[in-house]
């Protein structure tokens, strides 16, 4: 993971809430915002992974605060927002990052399994935004960043439920941007390509995947979680104050 060289003074002291922040791209986002001097609250299921993320932020002006939550539990998610706001004040930024790209055969998906995938990959985003937006209204504005995926754009097989949810991120973004724009709340989609997180490297990246990236990336190299975090910083900062209802793709030119 590289450190961002960009400093956004408007992020210092702001309250950032990140879902799925205990590992992967979310962990890189927690670290990136902490280095900007922001007050970061983040949720996830793994306390041990979250501890590693917090340790990586040693030296930050304000240490990130982890709240363990099963994001499929809407009541628990709402309670986490209440705890974060009580501890660190109203929210300035929500990053809807939590996701699970578990593979599945379409013809074997049951209604119960489908509901589980939706609960993590879409429902949590919807109700996290519902919990965050009144707080941003009280602050007089804010930024919601919905993390999408290029998986559905690439017509990837083996995770239809995941791809369905990720394609819905754009619809959620555009609807919320119109409804809450008068409150000076910006809503955008940040869409990563294949990011070389520990999970991806352990489970999915093989020789065929390496060849696919070499053949389809317009740029050399691999996408890191810190690359995605850099874009999130911009979308959260005042420098993007007139940008809303948009999708920002970071996939080295694959799509």
Contact (CB, 8 A) for 15 and 215: no
- pLDDT of res. 204: 85
Contact (CB, 8 A) for 20 and 98: yes
Check if CATH label 3.40.50.720 holds for domain 14-194+224-250: yes
- pLDDT of res. 221: 96
Residues identified as active-site: 162
Pairing relationship of beta strands 93-96 and 39-44 according to DSSP bridges = unpaired
Identify the three-state secondary structure at position 102. Answer: coil
**Of 165, 211, 210, 171, whose CA–CA distance to 187 is shortest?**
171
- Rounded Cα distance, 87 and 47, in Å: 19
- pLDDT of res. 2: 61
- Rounded Cα distance, 177 and 184, in Å: 9
- pLDDT of res. 3: 64
Report, as ranges of residue numbers, the positions in the chain whose pLDDT lies below 70. Answer: 1-5
**Of 107, 130, 103, 132, whose CA–CA distance to 117 is shortest?**
103
* Domain boundaries defined on the chain: 14-194+224-250
For the entire predicted model, the pTM comes to 0.96
Region of residue 63 (phi > 0: left; psi between -120 and 50: alpha; otherwise: beta)? beta
Residue whose tokens read 């300035």 = 92
């Amino acid at each position: 993971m590289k450190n961002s060289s960009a400093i956004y003074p408007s992020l210092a002291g702001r309250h950032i809430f990140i879902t799925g922040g205990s590992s992967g791209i979310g962990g890189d986002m927690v670290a990136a915002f902490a280095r900007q001097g922001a007050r970061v609250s983040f949720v996830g299921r793994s306390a041990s992974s979250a501890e590693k993320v917090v340790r990586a932020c040693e030296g930050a002006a304000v240490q990130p605060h982890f709240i363990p939550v099963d994001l499929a539990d809407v009541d628990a998610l709402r309670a986490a927002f209440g705890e974060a706001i009580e501890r660190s004040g109203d929210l300035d930024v929500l990053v809807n990052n939590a996701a699970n790209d578990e593979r599945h055969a379409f013809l074997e998906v049951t209604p119960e399994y489908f509901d589980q995938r939706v609960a993590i990959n879409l429902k949590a985003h919807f109700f996290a935004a519902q919990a965050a937006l009144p707080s941003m209204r009280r602050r007089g504005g804010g930024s919601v960043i919905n993390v999408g995926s290029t998986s559905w754009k690439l017509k990837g097989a083996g995770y239809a439920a995941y791809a369905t949810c990720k394609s819905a991120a754009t619809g959620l973004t555009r609807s919320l941007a119109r409804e809450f724009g008068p409150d000076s709340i910006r809503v955008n989609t940040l869409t990563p390509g294949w990011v070389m997180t520990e999970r991806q490297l352990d489970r999915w990246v093989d020789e065929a995947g390496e060849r696919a990236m070499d053949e389809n990336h317009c740029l050399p190299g691999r996408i890191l979680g810190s690359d995605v975090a850099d874009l999130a910083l911009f979308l959260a900062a005042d420098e993007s104050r007139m940008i809303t209802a948009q999708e920002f793709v970071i996939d080295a030119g694959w799509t």
